[in-house]
Amino acid sequence: MRDGPLARVLAQLGNDRITGDELLTAFAERLSGADLTTFLLEVHRRRAARVSASDVIRAYERDRFVAPSSIDLGALRAAEDVLLRALPAGFDLVGLAPVLPLGAHSALSSVPQNNVLSTSRGTDVAADPTTGLALEAAVRRRALLRERARSTEVVRLASVQRIVRAQRFEGPLSFPHFTILGVVSAGRNARGLVFERAAAAEHVKFHINALEAAGASSIEVRLSDLSDDGRDAPVIAAVHSAIDGAAASVIDDPDRVQGRGYYRGFAFSVAGEIGAMRLDVGDGGFVDWTQQLVASGKERLLISGIGVDRVAIAMTNAFPQG
């Protein structure tokens, strides 16, 4: 095992006088991604060789990341079907990979890397479907812009994904892994906020329709402009107009704190009473991710998501045990 790439990597690291800080720098900055993967694969191979079946069962019993969901799979599938049927026409359903390029979440959304599960092969386990959808939307928008430099064609994508988040959440409805229905709309800024107003109205209406389909007896939508200059006030006005008469109470929430620095401008949240439970189940807003990925300040991206696990719990009126 000391031949080939591994021998070369070990030669780079081999120095009896190297300090701990220098070793950390070597791993983090000097080694290429491929060389670091080579080293870590050998480390994991050796550690795995020492693991017995009894070690595996003990780890399975105590590691919160590997335990199965406490929510019935049939209930989850039923909730997914209900929510997906409410998706507007024109959205492409994407089967996302379970991993993303290393640093995808932290580079785009400033999510701390310690809140993401990274792998030894230079990838991150998915922590939010909208990140993967944003990458795919950026690829599609780049292709459209190559065909026509000022293309305003909108890319609409959705996916249901089981995700993992490393930070600990408190409460009976908080889990280390759970399912989110993610939805993104990617387009180009135009005079009069044409794309922004249409996308915001479409996402909010979808969330209302989805909760109605799940059996919500009451729905509350909160609308906010998290920009410093109130530039998305016309977007909020457009949403009000589009959902006027919908089966939801709509509240302007200019003092919203959650999501500031994450969302850029318009943001919304959705709560519903399903059965005997009132739950916060949906959230969304504009982000600057495709501006970074496409390298154009004219690009716009609206993301939103619905917590499928919470909808499944409410639809069955069954809190998870344990």
Task: Summarize pLDDT for 143-164 with one digit per residue, the tens.
Answer: 999 999 999 999 999 999 999 9
Question: All domains of the chain, ordered by start, with CATH?
Answer: 5-50 (no CATH), 73-316 (3.30.930.10)
The whole-number pLDDT of residue 65 equals: 86
- pLDDT value at 2 more than 60: no
The whole-number pLDDT of residue 175 equals: 79
Q: How far apart are CA 83 and CA 78, in angstroms?
A: 9
Q: What is the pTM of this model?
A: 0.88
Helix 233-242, helix 194-213: angle, nearest 10: 40
The whole-number pLDDT of residue 1 equals: 44
Task: Summarize pLDDT for 203-223 with one digit per residue, the tens.
Answer: 999 999 999 999 999 999 999
- pLDDT value at 9 more than 70: no
- As a whole number, mean pLDDT of residues 52-63 equals 92
Q: How far apart are CA 301 and CA 88, in angstroms?
A: 17
Task: Summarize pLDDT for 230-265 with one digit per residue, the tens.
Answer: 889 999 999 999 998 888 999 999 999 999 989 999
Q: How far apart are CA 293 and CA 303, in angstroms?
A: 15
Q: What are residue 177's phi and psi, to 5 degrees?
A: -140, 140
Angle in degrees, CA 177, 316, 76, rounded to 5: 35
> Cα–Cα distances in Å, from 61 out to 26, 51, 166?
35, 15, 17
Please check whether residue 32 is in contact with residue 5, taking contact to mean a CB–CB distance below 8 angstroms. Answer: no
- pLDDT value at 16 more than 60: no
Pairing of strands 249-252, 299-307: unpaired
Cα–chain center distance at 214? 22
The whole-number pLDDT of residue 15 equals: 60
Nearby residues of 268 by Cβ (< 8 Å), 6 or more positions away: 200, 203, 204, 207, 221, 222, 223, 224, 239, 282, 283, 284, 285, 304
DSSP letter at 113 equals G
